[in-house]
Amino acid sequence: MKHTNVVRVLPDKQQKQILEIIGDRCAALYNAVQYRCRQAFFRGEPVPSYAALCSEFEEHPAYKALPSDIGQEVIKKARKAWDSYFACLRLYRKGDIPRPPRVPGYWKDRRTGKRLVRLIPVKSPRSYSLDARTVSLTLPTDLREKRGDRLVLRTKGLLRFHGRPKTLELKYDPVRKRWYAHQVVEVPEPVRKVRPEKHAAIDLGARVLVALAIEGLGRQLLFSAREVIKDFLYWTNQIAKEQSRLNRAGRKTSRKLRRLYQLRARRLRHAFVALAAEVARILKRHRVTTLFLEDLTGIREDTDFGPKNVLVHNFWAFRMLRNLIEAACARAGIKVVPMEPRGTSSRCAVCGHPVRRPVRHKAVCEKCGRVWHADANAALNILLQGSSKEHGAEATPQKPLAYRWDRHRWVSRFKPAAGTLKAASGSRTAA
C-alpha cells in the first residue's frame, strides 16, 4: 500500500526565490502541454498520450529549462488530468454524477493572467533525498552556478511512514504562504495475524458520528459530534462575517476568507483522523478481525433538510470519515466489509420487530419493551446482519458508553475536558 509523508519546508530568502523560479517553469511547461491537448480535443482529434507528449516536448524550451525527472513528471500530471476528465465524463453519461466535468485548464490566475506556482513534482528518488531534517533535489543547469548541483532545504516534521520511496512533490500553500514536501512511500501490506474470527460493526451518523458495536462487548460505544459541530458552526459564522464584509466592499474573496475555509476544513479533518485512530485502537485492543462498515453512498442525493442542510450537507463528511476508518483499520490489519444500511434503524436488535421513533435518538420496540439509542440499535443490527446471527444474539440492555471530542482527543464523557485540567490543577495548588 502507498502512504504519504508530509513535512514543512523551511527555505531561506534565496531558496524561496529558486523555488519560485522552478515552480514558474513547471507551470510554463504544464500550460504548454495543456494547450497542445486542449487544441487537439477541441478539433476532435485524440488527446496525445504521455509517451507522445514526452517525445514532442523533448526540445521545448520549457522542458529543457527543468531537470528531466521534473519535466517528465509535469507532463505526466498534465496527461493524468485528461484521464480524470474522461473518467468523470463516462460517469456523467451513465448518470452517476449530476453535472458534466470541466475540461482541464491552466495553472494561471484568470484575474491577473499570471502563472500560478503550485507545485514542483519530482519523478523518482534518484533526483531527490528526504530525511528527518532536510530535503534536497537536483537543480536546473542554469541555477547550479550559485548553489551547486543540488538544492538543500531544511524541513520540519515527522516521517510517519518508512518504506520504498516513490515520487516527491513540493507544494506551495498560497493561503499560509508556506512550502510543504509530500513524499509517496510504498509500504508492504500488514500481515494479518491468525486469530479467532471476531466481528464489529459501525453505524455512521451526523449527530453521533460513529456508533460502534463489538461482538462480546457488553455495551456499545457512541462518539458524539456535539463539540465538533460547535467548532464547525463557529468557523462557519466567522466565514459568514468575512463574506458580509467583502460584499460591502464589492469584493468576492480574500486571503482571510480562504484562510477561514482552510481552518474549518483542517479542524474538522483533525477530529475525524483522531476518531478513526481511536476506533482502530479500540478494535485492536478487543482483537477484532472484521469490521462491518455501513455504506452511505447516495444517501443525501435530491434531499432537502431545511435549516439542517448545513449540518447534513456541509458538516457531515461521511465519505471522508469512512475512508479514514478504512485506512486506519488497514494499518491495524483489520478487514473492512461494506454493508447495506437499509432497514438497520427500523427494527429491534432483540426481536427484529419494527421500532417506533418518538424522538430522533430513541428507538422503542413495542413487542419486547426495549428502549434503545437509535444509533446503538442500528450498529447492533449491522453486526447481526454481517455475522449472520439471529436477533438477540448480541443485544444487551446496558447503557451505551459515550465519547466526546475535547479538541485534542476523544475521551469518555465522564472524564474531564482538557480545558478543565488547568483549573483543577490550580485549585489543588491553592489547597
Model pLDDT for residues 139-183, shown as the tens digit of each residue? 998 888 766 788 999 999 999 888 999 999 999 999 999 999 999
pLDDT band at residue 346 using 50, 70 and 90 as cut-offs: confident
Residue 368, pLDDT above cutoff 90: no
Asked whether residue 430 is domain-assigned, the answer is no
Asked whether residue 431 is domain-assigned, the answer is no
Asked whether residue 191 is domain-assigned, the answer is no
Per-residue pLDDT averaged across 384-412, rounded? Answer: 76
Q: Which of 343, 295, 341 is nearest to 319 (CA)?
A: 295
Q: Find cell 435549516 and name the residue.
A: 307
Q: Are residues 264 and 395 in the same domain?
A: yes
Q: Are residues 299 and 181 in the same domain?
A: no
Q: Are residues 159 and 304 in the same domain?
A: no
Least confident of 180-189, 367-376, 414-423: 414-423
Give the pTM.
Answer: 0.79
Other Cβ atoms less than 10 A from the Cβ of 251: the count is 11
**Sign of torsion, CA 65 117 154 128?**
negative
Q: Are residues 237 and 267 in the same domain?
A: yes
Torsion of CA 303, 304, 305, 308, to 10 degrees: 110
Q: Are residues 107 and 208 in the same domain?
A: no
Got the DSSP string for 237-252?
A: HHHHHHHHHHHHTT-S
Q: Are residues 275 and 159 in the same domain?
A: no
Least confident of 105-114, 139-148, 270-279, 349-358: 349-358
**Sign of torsion, CA 16 21 26 27?**
positive
3-state secondary structure of 203: strand
pLDDT at 153: 94
What is the overall mean pLDDT for the chain? 85
Q: Which domain holds residue 283?
A: 199-423
Q: Is residue 321 a contact partner of residue 276, using CB atoms and an 8 Å limit?
A: yes
Our count of domains for the chain comes to 2
